Amino acid sequence: MDKGQIRIVLVETSHPGNIGAAARAMKNMGLEQLVLVSPRQFPHPEAAARASGADDVLARARVVETLPEALAGCGFVAATTSRERDQYFRVADVREAAGRLLSETVRGPVAVLFGSERAGLTNEQLEAAHLLVCIPASGTYPSLNLAMAVQIVAYELFRAGGVSVEPAPAAGPLADPAELERLYEHFAQVLEEVDFRDRTQSGTHLMGRIRRFLQRAELDRNEVNILRGFLTAVQRRRRRAGERGGP
């Protein structure tokens, strides 16, 4: 288990002070990898001021334009949320999630996503997550400041590193978000080709449901290749059948 494999990813952060405070929270708990997705203002003097001794974490922060860039090379991905989401997401308390994240570092880099101060993470941004992380709070006012949320998650990761955590079962590295996205695009293409459609009233949820159960399956790269091979075989068989049925 290696905390050096953990990325803290802040998505579309509005206030530079929160970036600095998050860097300080990370330094307090021994985390080093900070990735910023399209921050509104960075670098910024307020970020440097709020880092207060964590200037090295801030200086190493990587700034990217898109979430896929931030997650490139990662296996397990967790996302923080304070809002109720649909029932197809796997959800864990922050303490349970911290143990899981640490155990997954034996297989490769992992990431924890934090959304913008105003709106959090969108459903689209959550699609890369294997697990949603909830921080228990008062029902009358459950919203946490971004830097506070980073501090709590970082603390639980630090705490989990000092207790016995059962390692993840030996397996190949998890498929990264880009590999999974290619699988989902392939799946959608085959569904269209075989005319397998959502039969519900709205007719818009089928691919989302498929994405959710495959995310819960936590596919490794070999499993993604197996599924894509199967989908390719379906496409080839359908083409041959079409040729035989032609004039």
The model carries a pTM of: 0.84
Q: What is the rounded average pLDDT of the residues 100-121?
A: 95
Mark whether 22 and 86 lie in a shared domain.
Answer: yes
Lowest mean pLDDT among 37-51, 64-78, 113-127: 113-127
Handedness of CA 153, 154, 155, 156 (dihedral sign): positive
Mark whether 185 and 137 lie in a shared domain.
Answer: no
Mark whether 82 and 23 lie in a shared domain.
Answer: yes
Instruction: Name the band, by pLDDT with cuts 50, 70 and 90, for residue 168.
Output: low
Please report the pLDDT score of residue 226 as a whole number.
Answer: 96
Asked, for residue 168, whether it belongs to a domain, the answer is no
Asked, for residue 232, whether it belongs to a domain, the answer is yes
Number of domains in the chain: 2
Please report the pLDDT score of residue 227 as a whole number.
Answer: 97
- Whole-Å CA distances, 202 to 146, 189, 197: 35, 20, 11
Mark whether 193 and 153 lie in a shared domain.
Answer: no
Using the predicted structure, report yes or no on whether residue 187 has a pLDDT greater than 90: yes
Q: Which of 81, 91, 64, 83 is nearest to 7 (CA)?
A: 64
Mark whether 205 and 145 lie in a shared domain.
Answer: no
Mark whether 125 and 54 lie in a shared domain.
Answer: yes
Mark whether 92 and 182 lie in a shared domain.
Answer: no
The tens digit of pLDDT for each residue in 223-237 reads 999 999 999 999 999
From 106, 130, 161, the end of a domain falls on 161
The tens digit of pLDDT for each residue in 19-65 reads 999 999 999 999 999 999 999 999 999 999 999 999 999 999 999 99
Mean pLDDT across the chain: 91
The CATH number that applies at residue 181 is 1.10.8.590
Q: Which of 219, 226, 223, 229 is nearest to 75 (CA)?
A: 219
Structural domain containing residue 74: 3-161
Residue 115: HSE in the Cβ half-sphere, 13 Å Cα cutoff: 19
Mark whether 220 and 157 lie in a shared domain.
Answer: no
Mark whether 91 and 205 lie in a shared domain.
Answer: no
Mark whether 115 and 215 lie in a shared domain.
Answer: no
From 161, 195, 225, the end of a domain falls on 161
The CATH number that applies at residue 140 is 3.40.1280.10
Mark whether 92 and 149 lie in a shared domain.
Answer: yes
Asked, for residue 171, whether it belongs to a domain, the answer is no
Mark whether 25 and 71 lie in a shared domain.
Answer: yes
From 161, 190, 223, the end of a domain falls on 161
Say which residue the tokens 């999630």 belong to.
97
